[in-house]
Amino acid sequence: MSKNLEELKGELRGFVAERDWEKFHSPKNLTMALAGEAGELLEQFQWLTEEESYHLSGDKKVSVGEEIADILIYLVRLADKLEIDLLSEAYWKIEKNAAKYPVEKVRGKATKYTDL
Amino acid sequence: MSKNLEELKGELRGFVAERDWEKFHSPKNLTMALAGEAGELLEQFQWLTEEESYHLSGDKKVSVGEEIADILIYLVRLADKLEIDLLSEAYWKIEKNAAKYPVEKVRGKATKYTDL
Amino acid sequence: MSKNLEELKGELRGFVAERDWEKFHSPKNLTMALAGEAGELLEQFQWLTEEESYHLSGDKKVSVGEEIADILIYLVRLADKLEIDLLSEAYWKIEKNAAKYPVEKVRGKATKYTDL
Amino acid sequence: MSKNLEELKGELRGFVAERDWEKFHSPKNLTMALAGEAGELLEQFQWLTEEESYHLSGDKKVSVGEEIADILIYLVRLADKLEIDLLSEAYWKIEKNAAKYPVEKVRGKATKYTDL
């Protein structure tokens, strides 16, 4: 059976309910947990050069995979609590960015135009 | 047609390629962009009480949705560059957490056992 | 002898030079290290209520003190590398904020006016 | 008269009291504000190479100085609320790090030994 974000949301609801942790998962607290995991992700990359960051060692890649999982997990939890649909928001944002950063204007330029 | 993370990955590849931004998207740089967006998400919640964080105003909810989208977008980009499968990592992490935090041991407790 | 930020800057220069770590301390890398420590600080507070956050246990307070120290250390390092004077910048920012948030306009209000 | 952290603490107390913002400044909320500013700092550096990060343009340096000021301001506020002495903590942490990372063992090495 193929997995998707909808299923992951359900899986996490079960995990949290079983442990009676719902009370800790206010949206405010979940943003802190998510940002905390983003901080741990940074720590994996802070002393690497950009070039090195493309070629992680096996151990490093396992650690990075774990941080990435934590971020997705808290993101799905937060979106669930706020009744926000993750994929719809992402597609809507891409559309907005496409209008904001027209190809002919920003091609190959960094600075303020580089954000997705 | 229903959207999923695989499609979103492809969509973002096109967006970046068209703009010739691939060169800026080293894994190291993408972790910074992701953490930067996590910081913007925090700013939406920092002066709200936990209670208030459950009941966002319409405007606030739009802004929060946008930050959440940005985080997902950079997370998908990063996983793509590192050839990491987001959903597999998340399911693997949940399994690991289930072993680490057995229900009977952590039920209703915060502190160190509360992390997903 | 009383310690101050100027002395701390010198102390850190010595610490880094002895270990030949200067090469890792680019401003870009130092911002990542600083944000990583800010993430660890968040983790100390994420499951506490606001009320609990005023009354930390002894152990917690030690951990928090350590995260706060790490943030100050990286902040001093970063300012040193960029030749920015920390205290002058802070005083200049307070002046700017005083003009931006006049007392009679923002008194007791949260939302967008609450930032320092 | 030369300024120091002790004076900055007093200055900020006055600023907050005048605006009746003390109620928003729980330690929990202040960690979020601090991490939010660290995120803004990251955004200033995310698309720069390490080399470029040493040579900021005039405009960029002004923005970076402002983010650095914000971080110091929230750090001083947080330490004040928790009755933690910033400089003592930093010196204590350096001593701890000196023992953890002996010169002969870590000289010139990155990876796990590079942290301050």
Name the residue among C60, D57, A94 with its Cα closest to residue B72.
A94
Predicted confidence at residue B114, as pLDDT, reads 57
Other beta carbons within 10 angstroms of residue B15's beta carbon come to 18
Residue D49 forms contact with B (CB below 8 Å): no
Residue B32 forms contact with A (CB below 8 Å): yes
Q: How far is D54 from chain B (nearest CA, A)?
A: 16
Q: What's C48-98 look like in SS3? A: CCHHHHHCCCHHHHHHHHHHHHHHHHHHHHHHHHCCCCHHHHHHHHHHHHH
| Fold of domain D5-84 | Helix Hairpins (1.10.287)
ipTM score for this prediction: 0.93
Task: Using an 8 Å CB-CB cutoff, list chain C residues near B32.
Answer: 31-32
- C63 versus C107: which is more confidently predicted? C63
Interface subset of C 8-27, CB within 8 angstroms of A: 24
Confidence class for position D3, pLDDT limits 50, 70, 90: confident
Q: Quick check: C18 pLDDT over 50?
A: yes
Q: Mutate one of B32, B45, B67 to test the D interface: name it (highest D CB count within 10 A).
A: B32
Dist CA B9 CA D28 (whole Å): 35
Residue A99 forms contact with D (CB below 8 Å): no
Q: For C36-51, how does the pLDDT look when each residue is reduced to its tens digit (9 = 90+)?
A: 999 999 999 999 999 9
Mean pLDDT of C9-35: 97
Q: Quick check: A114 pLDDT over 60?
A: no
Predicted confidence at residue C28, as pLDDT, reads 98
Q: How far is B8 from chain C (nearest CA, A)?
A: 27
Q: For A56-94, how does the pLDDT look when each residue is reduced to its tens digit (9 = 90+)?
A: 999 999 999 999 999 999 999 999 999 999 999 999 999
Residue B79 near residue A68, CB atoms below 8 Å:
yes
Q: For chain B, give every domain's residue range.
A: 5-84, 85-116
Q: For B68-93, how does the pLDDT look when each residue is reduced to its tens digit (9 = 90+)?
A: 999 999 999 999 999 999 999 999 99
- Tell if the CB–CB gap between D111 and A47 is shorter than 8 Å: yes
Predicted confidence at residue D1, as pLDDT, reads 46
Q: For C74-112, how does the pLDDT look when each residue is reduced to its tens digit (9 = 90+)?
A: 999 999 999 999 999 999 999 999 999 999 998 887 655
Q: Which amino acid is at A25?
A: H
Name the residue among C106, C103, C108 with its Cα closest to residue D20.
C108
